[in-house]
Amino acid sequence: MTIFQRMSIVTLMVLAVTNFLHAQEATSTPPQSSTASPPEDKRRSEEETRKRLEQLACGPKGIHFSHHTDKGPQALPEQSPDKGLIYVIRTKSPFGATGQARLAMDGKWVGVNRVGNYFYIEVDPGPHYFCMKAGLDEPGLLSLVVEKGKTYYLRHGFIISGIDLEFLDEEKGKQYVAKYSRSVFEEKHKK
């Protein structure tokens, strides 16, 4: 199979997947002829919840970060008794390996990771909303009530259908932090 044939296959795949995702969105709207109102309410409510969480969590558009990986010795922060500490870890996956993945918390972008990176943030106790975004994919969303003096490990990565975001247990989280390198980033300002 030539490179051109492979390119053709990939192009058609992208078209088909886009078509599929559009179809998914279309069917999530209430059907006109449905007589069963409870399922409609539920779907609306899920959508509303997702939109609300997206509004609470995701940062504004047009923010970009410069990024590099610090491969030097890792100095980990001390856990403050009055705050929560969240490690944000990007694990290895076969998809989206080259792109940046940005995390927003409570409507503000707070960091960027590439594959095999992590960064950490100190947060005040209480409810917080997380939005992980990369490229044009749908954002990964999560909400958590942070407790003071506690450490959390938020893992993210890519799967073919989008962003994967979840909390890890302490043991796994520590393993990743020990194995991976710290992400160093800075917001780019337009001149």
Partner 1 sequence: MSPTSHSCPIVEGLLHVAPTAVLFLAFSFGLNARVSTSQAGSALRRPYEIERGQGSDSVAAQNQQSEPGKSPANAPEPVLADGTPIRLKFVRAVVSSQVIAGEKLPLEVVEPVFAGKLVTIPQHSPVEAIVTMAQASRNMGRGGDLQFKIENIRLADGELVPVRAVKDVKGKGNRAAALTGEAGLAAGFAFSPVSPLSFLIYVKGKNATIPAGAEITAYIVGDFQLDPSKFQDAAAVPQEKNAPQ
Site residues, partner 1 (CB under 8 A): 2, 4-10, 12-13, 15-17, 19-20, 23-24, 27-28, 37-43, 45-46, 49-50, 52-53, 56, 94, 126-129, 141-145, 159-162, 164-167
Q: Which is nearer to partner 1, 146 or 182 (CB)?
A: 146
Q: Which is nearer to partner 1, 59 or 182 (CB)?
A: 59
Name the residue type at position 164: D
Pairing of strands 126-133, 101-105: antiparallel
Minimum distance from residue 188 beta carbon to partner 1 (Å) = 31
Minimum distance from residue 139 beta carbon to partner 1 (Å) = 12
Minimum distance from residue 116 beta carbon to partner 1 (Å) = 18
Q: Which is nearer to partner 1, 75 or 145 (CB)?
A: 145
Q: Is the dihedral of CA 95, 97, 98, 100 positive or negative?
A: positive
Distance CA 137, CA 49 (A): 19
Minimum distance from residue 66 beta carbon to partner 1 (Å) = 30
